Every structure is written in C-alpha cells, then in structure tokens.
Amino acid sequence: MGQLASALVTMILGVMGCAAYFYGSNFLLDKIFPTKSGAAADVARNLRVANNIRPWLFLGPAVLLLTFYLFYPVIDSIRLSFYGRSGEDFVGLANYKWLFSSDEFYESFRNNMLWLIVVPTAATFFGLIIATMTDRIWWGNIAKSLIFMPMAISFVGASVIWKFIYDFRTGGEDQIGLLNALVVFFGGEPQTWLTIPIWNNFFLMVILIWIQTGFAMVILSAALRGIPDETIEAAVLDGANGFQIFYKIMVPQIWGTIAVVWTTITILVLKVFDIVLAMTNAQWGTQVLANQMFSWMFNGGGDFGRGAVIALVIMVLVIPIMVWNIRRANAEMEGR
Amino acid sequence: MADVKLTNVKKIYSNNVEVLKDINLDIKQGEFIVFVGPSGCGKSTLLRMISGLEDISAGTLEIDGVVVNDVPPALRGIAMVFQSYALYPHMTVYDNMAFSLQIAKVSKADIDQQVRKAADMLQLTPYLDRLPKALSGGQRQRVAIGRAIVRRPKVFLFDEPLSNLDAALRVATRMEIANLKDSMPDSTMIYVTHDQVEAMTLADRIVLLSGGDIEQVGSPLDLYEHPANVFVAKFIGSPAMNIVPCRIEQTGAQTLVSLSASASIQTPIVTESSEQAKPAFFGIRPEDLVVVSAEQESLFSGEVSFVESLGEATLLYVKIPGADDMVIAKQAGTLNIKRGDKVYLSAPAEKMHLFDEHEQSYLRKG
Amino acid sequence: MITSSKRTPLTFLVHATVLFLVIIWTIPTAGLFISSIRDKNQLSTSGWWTALSTSEQRLVARAHEPKKQVQEGDRFVIRGNLFEGSAGEVTKFGSSSLRPDEFDVGTVAELKKGETLQVMENGDYAFSSPVEWKGSRGDRIFYTAETPPRFTLENYREVLNAEGLGKSFINSLTVTIPATIIPILVAAFAAYALAWMRFPGRALLVAAVVGLLVVPLQMSLIPLLKTYNLIGEFFGVGSKTYVGIWLAHTGFGLPLAIYLLRNYIVGLPREIIESARVDGASDFDIFRKIVLPLSFPALASFAIFQFLWVWNDLLIAMVFLGNDADHMVLTGQLRELLGSRGGNWEILTASAFITIIIPLCVFFGLQRYLVRGLLAGSVK
Ligand SMILES: Nc1ncnc2c1ncn2[C@@H]1O[C@H](COP(=O)(O)OP(=O)(O)OP(=O)(O)O)[C@@H](O)[C@H]1O
Ligand SMILES: [Mg+2]
C-alpha cells in the first residue's frame, strides 16, 4: 500500500510538473507583456513581443529533450568510437579495426541483414493481405482486433509465449510445445528448434512478424479506406477481377503508405534486441547488432568505444531511410 | 468613426508573386463595401490583410485614422465571417458566440446578455444549446454572423458568407444581412462575393478587382451604367455586355464608328480629333438591344444561331457579319423567333458605350 | 467494397483465409492464457491444447506414515485416498516403479510378506499387513489415473506473492503513466507551434524532427548514461531515478509523437484557427480551447502506442532504472524469471500473462480511437 501511495504521488508530481511549466510560462508571458488591457499601442507592442516569444515556450521542452536525448548522443557516439573502453583514451581507428576483424560482427551483420529483409517484407505483406480481406467481411473488425493484439504484448512476453511453442521434451515424453507436438503428430522427429543454425534466426523473426503485422494492417487498412470508391468501381466496369483490382488499382494508390509502414518496421528491426536476448541470449548463431552493442556496453564493465562503433554501424544502415524521410517531408511542405 | 483607409497597399507572397499591386481605397464609416472580381484576383487576400490575418507587404492600412499595419487582428476592432462558417465544432452555439467575450474576460452576466440579444436578433434562441453539427447550413451561417455581432466590432468582414448555401437560402440570408446593416448603421461592412446580385443589392459601393488591381470603385449603378473599361463592362451584368470591335470614322460630340465593312453607328460619345481612324470597341448590353422589323433603324443585323428561352426573358445569339463573338440580345417574355431567322437589332443611343484601343471608356455625353 | 465479387467462391475463400490467419495469430496467446490457469502438474506433462480432455497420467503417491495405522482384527491397516480431495479415476495400480500398472483397480493385490494393497476407483486405498507397520515413511503407491481437467488460479497467487511481481507491477505503472502523458503534452505543444505559429527556423525544425525519427535509441545509451551519472553525482542522488526514465522515454518518443500530431493538427481547418485569432485568443488559448479538444482522436491514438511501448520496454528500463529489486519493472522481472526459472512453465506463463493484461485492456478499451486518429495522422 505504501508503495502504491508513493508511486501515485510520484506520478502526480511528474505530470503536474510538466503541465505547470506550460501554464506557468505562458501565464508569466501574459503577465510581463499584458495584452488584455492598457493603451492600444502598448498592447500591440506587447502582443508582438509575446508572439515572438511564445513559439519558443511551446517548443522549448521538445527542443531540449530532442537535443539531449537524440542529437547530442549521435554526436557523442561518433566521438566515442575513436576512444578506448572507458571513453577517455584516444585510440584512433582501433575500434573499427577490431570490429571488422571480429567474427561475431560478421555473424550479427549477416543476421541483421536477414532480419531486415524478411521481417518488414513479411509483416507488410501479411498486413496488406489481411487489411484488404478484413475490409470485405462483416466480422472484419473482430478479426483485426485479434490480429492487432500481439502489438500489445511486450517482446519479452512474446518471447515467453513463443518459447512455449518451441519447447522441446526429450525421449518419449509428451511434447508440450505446439510445434513439436505437430511435428510428432505428423510422424516427425521433435527438434530443439532454437539451436538449429541459421534456421533459428527465422524462428525468432516469426515472433516479430507476429507482433508487427497488426501495426501494418491498421495503417494500411486506413489507407485502403482512403481510396476513392470510384476508381475501384471503374475498374469493375472495365472488367477487372478481384486480384487485378487489388494489385493494379489498389496497391499503386497506397504505395506511399506501404513505404511508410515498411520503413517504420525496418527501423524497429534495427533496434530490436529484446527478442534475441530473451529467447536465445544470442547463442547458437543468433546474434544481432543491437544485442551485440548492448552486451559490449553493459556486460563486464562495458567497453564504450566498441559499443559506440556498433551503434554507428546501425546508424549508417539507417541513413538512407533518414534521407528519404526528410526528402519526403520537404516535398510535402512545399506542396502546401 | 470607423473609416478604413488603404494607401499603396501591396501583397507579395514568399514566392515573389505580387498578388495585390497597389491598392488605394477610402472607406467611410457606415459604408457597405463589396469586393467583387474573378476567382484568384486577390479579394480574400485584401480582406484578410484588413483583418490582420495576412501581413501587409507594403503601404499602410488605417482604421479610424490609426495605422494598424502591425496591430494584431483581435485589437483592430474587426469581426470576420468565413465562407466555411469556421464554427468551433466542439462548442455549443452559445459557447461559440460567447468565446470572444470569454477571452476578453467580460463578466458572465454581460456575456449572457449580449449572446441572448444577438441570438434573438438572428432567431437562434432555440438552438443555443446545440452543437454546430446539429444545425442546418443557414443556421450555421447565422451563428457565424451572431459570433461577429456580439463582439460589437467597428468593421465587419465577410468572405463569401453565402456561397455554401442553396439558392433560396441565399436570398433569405442576403436580406437578413441587409437588415443587419440597417440595424447597425454605424458599422462599416466589407463583403467579398462572387455573386453579382449580392454585390448589386447589398453594396453602397462596389470595388471591382482584377489581377491584383482595382479596376473601378463606385455605386452599383455607376458601375453598371458607366463602366470604366471593357473588363468592368463585361464583369457587371448578366449576360455580359456585347463588345464589338470597330473603327472610329468621325470624332467630335457625336462619334461615328464603323463596325464592319457595312454598318456604321452614330454614338452620343465625345472623342478628340486625335482619335480619328483608331480601332475601338463598341459596347451595348444585351438587355438594351431591341428587335426591330426594319433594317433602316437597326444597328446590327444577323442570323440567329441560338435561342434560349428562360420564361421571363429570351436570349438571342446573333451572328453578326464581321464580328467574331456572337451578339446577345435579351428580350422580355417569349418570342416567336427560331434559329436561322434573320433579325434586326437596335438600341437607344444613351445606352451605348465606346472604349478606346486600350479598352478604356470614352466619356459619354450627358 | 468490391461489389462484383460478392457471392462468389472468392468470398468464401476470403472468409476461410481470414479465419485461418486469425487462428494462427491468436493461438500463441490463447495457449499462454490456458496454460497459465492449468494445474502445474498437468501443465508440465501435457500440451495446453489437451487442457479440456481428461488426461491419463502415471502418478506416484505415498501412503500415510505407519503411525496412522489402525488394527482391524488381526491385521494392521493404513487407509487413505490417493487424490486427497480432488477428483480423479484410478484405472491401474502397482507397488513397484518397474510395474506401475500391475493390478486392475479394485483387486486385492498380494504383496510380499502377506501384505495386501487394494486401491479403489475413487482413489481409496488400503494397505494391510499381518504385522505392525514400522518406519517413519509410508510406502509408495504407483497408479494410473484419469484426472479431469483442472483449472486453478494457484499459479497467479504464487507468482504475485512470491516472485515480487506485484511490486514490479506498481513500478511499471509508475514508469508508464507519466512516460505516456508527458511526451504527449510536450509533443502537442511543439506540434502546434510547428503547424500554426510563424517563427524563423520552422522548416528546419520540422526536418530535424523527421531526421531524428530514425535514430536508433541504443546509440543514445552510452552518452546518456555518462551524463546521467554526472548529474546524479552533482545532485547527490543515484543516477537511476523515475524522473530520469520518464524523461528518457519522453525524449525517445518525441520525434514520432511530434510527427504524428503535427500531421493531424496541420490538417485542422485553417479558418477555425483564424477565427479564434480574430476573436482575440492568444496561441495558448487557441491551443487549449480549440486545438486540444479537436485533436483528441490523434492524442488518444498516440497515447495508446506510447503506453504500449513504454509498458513493454525492456531496454530503457534496464539502462535507466536498473535491475535492483526495488526498481525492477515487469518486463525486467519476466526476463529474470525466464533466465532463472526457465523450466517452470506455471511461473512463466502466469507472469507473462500478468505483464500483458494491462496493455491488452488498454488496447481493447481504446482501440476505436486508434484507427480514427491514425487515419488523419500517418496516412496522408
Ligand atoms: N499563401 C500563399 N502563397 C502564395 N500565393 C498565394 C497564397 N495565398 C493565395 N495566393 C495567391 O493569391 C492570389 C489571390 O488569392 P485570393 O484567395 O485572395 O483570391 P480570391 O480573389 O479570394 O479568389 P476566390 O474568389 O477564388 O476566393 C491567388 O492567385 C492565389 O494563388
Ligand atoms: Mg476567396
């Protein structure tokens, strides 16, 4: 009870503190430069001053937080990658040399590439298929909810769920893992799935696909609804069948959204490490970059330099997507 | 008290497009001014500059003799009614009307009194507790007007307030706006519209804009009877004035122009002798043309290529030899004229217009 | 939507495919839930999909210790019940582990030294011997029983009491709620400024937000951790505080929050905002009284996502809140269990279900806002 109460107080203080900033700063601004009364000329001047200051009151916290939590770390990681374990002695390119001569790096790089190709593609594909089909049936919304549900489950929770599915029992015991039970049912030999090299990566990817398909589906189905009915009706009149309508009329119209979904999942894949950590702890050749970096940074006292180098590799992999996104945003702003 | 004066006002958007070129306009207190002009000519931009929603790139804007270029909208003593009504969708009618007063920290009792008075005036009392989405288009527009009224502004600004309404409602609301003006004779109103009828019926003075310039300012009848140039002549009146290219044959108090090889017309318009033999444009409104039986007294003759019967009037499209555009004649009632018939058209001399080669009007005598 | 394809075999195919996919997508979670409420013995010997059928199990029980024997005539008898109250049906029994199904139920089995054992269908057993029973422990009885499905909340009770999960639950809430509200507040103000206020550098800021959208947050951890340590030392507090993790979640969530909310807010009708400006509202008034109420769907849908992310996060919690028992969040606790109790499925399944119950409630409770908010947001 005591813990609950103190948690409650902490939460209220935290949220109130944030709200108080916005109210307080704007209140102060209105007090210092009053605009509701006074001589017209003063009011006009005050208002102008206030209007020049206010955007920064609104943006202040966001700019500070973005700078501190994202922008500065990017810069600092670049610096750290040239320094040693503790981040104090300059070592030049040593960390880079180490990285490119480390077998583990090649393993995780290869695995990451597999993840990058398989997961976004599969999740987007399933999301699109499901979105299209659920839009046409009366229980579509129920189906969507159920398929979206894994989104609500943490990677660790999902790992428990899937560990349970991949579970293996030796000898003649009954298999309680669903996958092995199925294999046995069809007369096969039960396997320790998570230790089969290369393939175990795919068994891990399945988990992320299972989670992310719901996300792709929700966004794509919103986009599909935005397609003007007339274009589809016109295609029907032109004699197109269901599949032709799907890939010749509908898909091209939501191409932009598909790209956004694909990007979002790609970025997520680069950041994912929980699944690997919880399922295999990177054993049996399932290492990925994010997890490798994590273990270099935090295990055995940590090696900041090597961790930073791996972080930079992840960053470099993301750059094309970043550039593409900024281009898109700029084009959008010019359009308005 | 609430004069609005624009001096050399310009608007240049960031992409260096000069949307308004050099606007000079003097609006007196209590006047009902209507801005008309083709789409994209800058009417809304001009109105929004007066309201303060758009910066003024150059020149000065005075309200009540005070330069207000840098005064924010709320302090200019204006109220604006938007084409899309711009009601706050999450507030009731009452709250919509009370919003500006609440912002200004007016006491609750005063707010209540003013809102109810305005609601009464606009027959909105039964709807005060409704949300905008539960109102018809006409009711929404009245709420928007009510919201302007409660602020007791010096200047009302309307940007095409009726264009989202159907024809019948538009007529009714137009009359309401006219009544509103009568009940507030001291308020200045500036009104933007596409609709000529609105302009003609509501305005004390019309400001006709085109391509960022003022073409002509004047009372509705002034613009109708004395258009300053071909653009104004064609813009005011429906169907538009017939403009036929011609040549000045004889200058003086009674200018003689020749339309094509054959016909020539004597007009009561004064021209200087320097204009001799210059190309010009002869103008005559469709409603001023009458069908006559004899060729001798006619201005034009030609073959009818099209007849439109509107019931109360008939429009004849007549192909005149030597002119590219067809001449339109508007005759009262229904006529027994068919396509292909030859007709003779005449007009009273005092209704004729003559424009020089630069499309500017020559002055008419008397 | 496609009228022509109605009432064709295609429709049937669509129904069947969706049903198939829905089943595949639901089975893992369903399995987890069913397992978590099964008896732990059954859980470890049979798959969860058999939960509803009676299971045949080979079991061992120990008879009562000799001091409970009673003398009946010239024999000493120990009586008891194998199931001790719960239901079940014995089919076979035996007295040695080599031949556990030696005797049919009901028969009186002759054992060594004139001892007999009889086990009835309902589990009643009687050991009888011509001489007095000795020793402190009872003999073992092997039997084959058909136990009906048994569901229990025992696993949950055990987990919540013993494994510190209750505490982590509160920790998770303490992290999640402010870490959901604060970024929304900060992002909404920023999004409004970027959408409707005029100031120099606006376009640059928008581009920066989009650019930061893709920075992998692992990259931030080392520099941030160092700074946190410095700040912690400076103020004489530990570097792992709730405020620290709220701000971290806020910082990492901001780019997406600003991006989504700005897209939505910029789409609000311009005339409404101008009308408020003419009415004398300052930007702060406009934001509070007009923009905030009108953007509710977008705020709600982002809130759902942010809640799910924060609740489900492991990385940031591990780094900024640490792994000590006092501050452990649910995901951390679960991972701990996964490592230390990897074989105890009753613990794992129950804990996993506890961690996902809140997000599932949030999701099902608020999902109708999800689509509405996203519709105007990321789909443009
Ligand atoms: N923000 C802007 N940036 C650049 N050009 C603009 C901008 N806003 C308007 N314009 C241009 O200014 C011109 C005048 O626009 P305005 O809206 O005033 O026209 P209007 O007379 O009100 O037309 P309508 O009758 O269609 O409402 C148009 O050509 C338009 O393209
Ligand atoms: Mg306009």
Same domain, B180 and B261: no
Domain that holds residue A302: 95-335
The tally of domains found in chain A comes to: 2
Residue B53 Cα to ligand 2 middle (Å): 14
Residue B41 Cα to ligand 1 middle (Å): 7
Same domain, B210 and B244: no
Q: Mark which of A80, A115, A138 sits at the end of a domain.
A: A80
Residue B15 domain-assigned?
yes
Q: Mark which of B234, B250, B276 sits at the end of a domain.
A: B234
| Residue with more model confidence, C183 or A312 | C183
> What's the pTM?
0.80
Same domain, B199 and B326: no
Scan for tokens 């997961």, then name that residue.
A119
Same domain, B226 and B251: no
Residue A195 domain-assigned?
yes
Answer yes or no: is pLDDT of C202 > 70. yes
> Minimal Cα–Cα distance from B214 to chain A, Å?
28
Cβ pair C278:B74 closer than 8 A: yes
> Minimal Cα–Cα distance from B44 to chain A, Å?
18
Residue A89 domain-assigned?
no
Same domain, A112 and A72: no
pLDDT of residue C377: 40
pLDDT per residue, tens digit, chain B (366 aa), is 578 899 889 999 877 888 898 899 999 988 999 999 988 888 999 999 999 888 888 899 998 888 888 888 888 888 999 888 888 988 899 999 999 888 888 899 999 999 999 998 888 899 999 998 888 888 898 899 999 989 888 899 999 888 888 888 888 888 888 988 888 888 899 999 988 888 999 999 999 999 888 999 999 999 998 898 999 998 988 888 998 888 888 888 888 888 765 677 888 888 888 888 888 888 899 999 888 887 777 778 888 998 988 888 899 999 887 777 888 999 988 888 888 888 888 888 888 888 888 888 877 654
- Helices marked H in chain A: 2-32, 40-66, 72-80, 94-100, 103-134, 140-148, 155-165, 178-185, 199-226, 229-237, 242-244, 251-253, 255-271, 274-279, 289-298, 304-335
Q: Which residue in C has a C-alpha nearest to residue A267's C-alpha?
A: C214
pLDDT average, residue stretch C92-97: 74
Residue A114 domain-assigned?
yes
Distance, in Å, from the CA atom of A64 to the CA atom of A59, rounded to the nearest integer, reads: 8
**A321, HSE (Cβ side, Cα atoms, 13 Å):** 22
Same domain, B70 and B206: yes
Among B18, B21, B23, B45, residue to substitute to test ligand 1 (most atoms within 8 Å of Cβ): B45
Distance, in Å, from the CA atom of A27 to the CA atom of A47, rounded to the nearest integer, reads: 14
Instruction: Map out the domains of chain C as residue ranges.
Output: 55-150, 158-374
Residue B41 domain-assigned?
yes
Q: Is A323 on the interface with B (CB under 8 A)?
A: no
Burial of B27 per CB tally in 10 Å (0-12, 13-18, 19+) = buried
pLDDT digits (tens, 9 = 90+) for A154-184: 777 788 788 778 877 776 666 777 777 777 7
Length of chain B in terms of residues written? 366
Residue A85 domain-assigned?
no
Same domain, B273 and B295: yes
CA distance to A59, C187, C188, per residue, from A62 (Å):
5, 7, 10
Same domain, A8 and A137: no
Nearest CA among A228, A5, A334, A271 for reference residue A112: A271
Same domain, A319 and A206: yes
Same domain, A55 and A135: no
Q: Mark which of B234, B253, B285 sits at the end of a domain.
A: B234
Same domain, B186 and B318: no
Residue A185 domain-assigned?
yes
Domain holding B276: CATH number? 2.40.50.140
The beta-carbon neighbor of A43 closest among B66, B75, B105 is: B75
Residue A87 domain-assigned?
no
Domain holding B88: CATH number? 3.40.50.300
Same domain, A137 and A200: yes
Same domain, B207 and B263: no
Residue B13 Cα to ligand 1 middle (Å): 10
Subunit partners of chain A (3 or more CB pairs within 8 A)? B, C
Q: Is C280 on the interface with B (CB under 8 A)?
A: yes
Same domain, A71 and A138: no
Q: The domain at C158-374 falls in which architecture?
A: Orthogonal Bundle (1.10)
Same domain, A253 and A186: yes
Distance, in Å, from the CA atom of C205 to the CA atom of B9, rounded to the nearest integer, reads: 33
Give the binding-site residues of ligand 1, using a 6 Å CB cut-off: B 13, 15, 17, 19, 37, 39-45, 194
Cβ pair C277:B73 closer than 8 A: yes
pLDDT digits (tens, 9 = 90+) for A117-162: 899 999 999 888 888 888 777 887 788 888 888 888 877 778 878 8
Q: Which residues neighbour ligand 2 (ion) by CB within 5 Å?
A: B 44
Q: Which residue in B has a C-alpha nearest to residue A38's C-alpha?
A: B75
Concatenating the DSSP letter of every residue in C318-348 gives HHHT-SSTTT--HHHHHHHHHHHSTT-HHHH
Q: Is B106 on the interface with A (CB under 8 A)?
A: no
Q: Give, using CA atoms, the residue closest to atom 12 of ligand 1.
A: B19
Cβ pair C279:B99 closer than 8 A: yes
Assigned token pair, C131: 């001489």
Q: Which residue in C has a C-alpha nearest to residue A236's C-alpha?
A: C4
Domain that holds residue B191: 4-234
Domain holding A113: CATH number? 1.10.3720.10
- Residue B144 one-letter amino acid: A
Nearest CA among C263, C29, B178 for reference residue A160: C29
Same domain, B198 and B292: no
Residue B146 domain-assigned?
yes
Same domain, A201 and A285: yes
Residue B361 domain-assigned?
no
Same domain, B78 and B221: yes
Residue A86 domain-assigned?
no
CA distance to A239, B177, B244, C30, per residue, from B183 (Å):
63, 10, 45, 72
Q: Mark which of B234, B249, B269 sits at the end of a domain.
A: B234
The tally of domains found in chain B comes to: 2
Residue B167 domain-assigned?
yes
Q: Is A36 on the interface with B (CB under 8 A)?
A: yes
Residue B137 Cα to ligand 2 middle (Å): 19
Q: Which one of B61, B67, B75, B101 would you mutate to disrupt binding with A, by most A Cβ within 10 Å of its Cβ?
A: B75
Q: For residue B87, which residues of chain C lie inside 8 Å, CB to CB?
A: 272
Which ligand ends up closest to the CA of B23? 1
